[in-house]
Amino acid sequence: MKEFNLIDHFFKTKSGQRKDVIIGIGDDAAVTHIPQGQALVTTTDTLLSGVHFLPNASPHAIAQKAVAVNLSDLAAMGAEPAWISLSLSTPEVDEDWLTEFSRGLQDQIEYYSIQLIGGDTVQGPLAITITAQGFVPYDQAITRSGAKPGDLVYVTGTLGDAGLGLAIAKNEIEQATKESLTQINHDFLLKRLHYPTPRLLTGTQLRRIANACIDLSDGLISDIQHILNMSSCGATLNLENLPISPALANSVDQETAIKYALSAGDDYELLFTVSEEQKGNLETTLASANIQVTCIGYLNGNVGNLELKLKEQPYQADIKGYQHF
């Protein structure tokens, strides 16, 4: 099967139908329209087999995650997603695999009302690169550099689930965890690993409320540093406030749960900072959204310094975020 037919067969018919797409898949490039008053937001992320997903992961989950991690970056800017482009490197034309992969892609396309506008396929090691494009009203993008000392630090959802999920998937959990892991928790944790949820609605709601925002892909400790560096702040985190899911809390001890919550990647929750004055506004805005947000600390002027406390005591954590190299 030639590349042209491959894209046609597996992706073109399932690419979505947005009115702002003038020319979609099948030409040299896609042509799209940006609504007036909106800025374009663009992000690219690559998922590589054996690095970002396990080689035996389901193609449906791989496609879903490849889209989700990119949409999560748009969410962190306060943007609304519109279009994605796919570059798929695959060792062979495995029709079953491609069918499942394209189904995963299509599910995301339908769920988020986005459109696949371009594709490239190459024969090589399994890797998926997606570029996602979206909009945000002019001057309302939420950056990593707008945080200020005194800001409260919030996160969405719960942290560390995907970390334990990965340990489960790699069969690297301890005997005690195996014994305390119920089927429901097992399934929940794996779902959190394989099917992360980009916090798009929260992202758009944080426009004009949050001073800074980032998505948690490499682990809280690693990712918050980007905000501290780019905003010239320090932070104190109160670890007893970390949002830990019942599934994680019931499967490992508190120290391990904190370790996962602080250092494991793949959560794709948002971390954002809000001034004291905007706190009420935040609570009102999010009340209708049915998404958990938790205040886990505050920023200060100790530039680049990250202080961890557990019940007012300094917490020594020998943990790092995900290292890419």
User: Binding to a copy of itself (CB under 8 A): which residues in 190-219?
Assistant: 213-215
Handedness of CA 204, 109, 83, 119 (dihedral sign): positive
Binding mask 3-32 for a copy of itself (x = CB under 8 A): xx-x---------------xx--xxxxxxx
| 8, 87, 164, 233, 236 from 116: Cα distances, Å | 12, 11, 32, 39, 41
Note the residue count of the chain. 325
| 99 lies in the site for a copy of itself, by CB under 8 A | no
Binding mask 103-122 for a copy of itself (x = CB under 8 A): --------------xxxxxx
Least Cβ distance, residue 151 to a copy of itself (angstroms): 17
Angle formed at CA 83 by CA 282 and CA 46, multiple of 5 degrees: 90
> Which residue, among 70, 107, 104, has the nearest Cα to 85 in the 3D structure?
70
Question: Which segment (10-18, 48-56, 258-266, 309-317) binds a copy of itself by CB under 8 A?
Answer: 48-56
The strand pair at 306-310 and 234-238 is best described as parallel
| 83 lies in the site for a copy of itself, by CB under 8 A | yes
Q: Can you say how many angstroms the Cα of residue 257 is from the centroid of all Cα atoms in its chain?
A: 20
Spatial distance between the Cα atoms of 282 and 123, rounded to a whole number of angstroms: 48
Residue 113 carries which side chain, given as an amino acid letter? S
Determine the size of the site formed for a copy of itself (CB under 8 A): 68
Handedness of CA 137, 228, 276, 266 (dihedral sign): positive
Nearer to a copy of itself, 52 or 194 (CB): 52
Spatial distance between the Cα atoms of 148 and 263, rounded to a whole number of angstroms: 24
Q: Find the binder of a copy of itself among 63, 105, 127, 167 (CB under 8 A).
A: 127
Least Cβ distance, residue 170 to a copy of itself (angstroms): 18
* Residue labelled with tokens 């959204």: 289
Least Cβ distance, residue 222 to a copy of itself (angstroms): 9
> Which residue, among 305, 53, 65, has the nearest Cα to 198 in the 3D structure?
65
Least Cβ distance, residue 122 to a copy of itself (angstroms): 5
Least Cβ distance, residue 248 to a copy of itself (angstroms): 25
Question: Which segment (138-146, 175-183, 238-246, 298-306) binds a copy of itself by CB under 8 A?
Answer: 138-146
Question: Which segment (45-53, 103-111, 162-170, 295-303) binds a copy of itself by CB under 8 A?
Answer: 45-53
| 131 lies in the site for a copy of itself, by CB under 8 A | yes
End-to-end alpha-carbon separation of the chain, Å?
36
| 273 lies in the site for a copy of itself, by CB under 8 A | no
Q: Find the binder of a copy of itself among 13, 95, 111, 123 (CB under 8 A).
A: 123
> Which residue, among 191, 314, 292, 200, has the nearest Cα to 243 in the 3D structure?
292
Nearer to a copy of itself, 46 or 285 (CB): 46
Q: Which SS3 state, helix, strand or coil, does residue 75 take?
A: helix
Backbone dihedral angles phi then psi of residue 150, each to the nearest 5 degrees: 100, -20
| 45 lies in the site for a copy of itself, by CB under 8 A | yes
Least Cβ distance, residue 85 to a copy of itself (angstroms): 4
Q: Are 15 and 24 in contact (CB under 8 A)?
A: yes
Residues of this chain that bind a copy of itself (CB under 8 A): 1-4, 6, 22-23, 26-34, 36, 39-46, 48, 51-52, 73-74, 76-77, 79, 83, 85-87, 89, 92-93, 117-125, 127, 129, 131-133, 136, 138, 141, 143-145, 213-215, 226, 230, 323-325
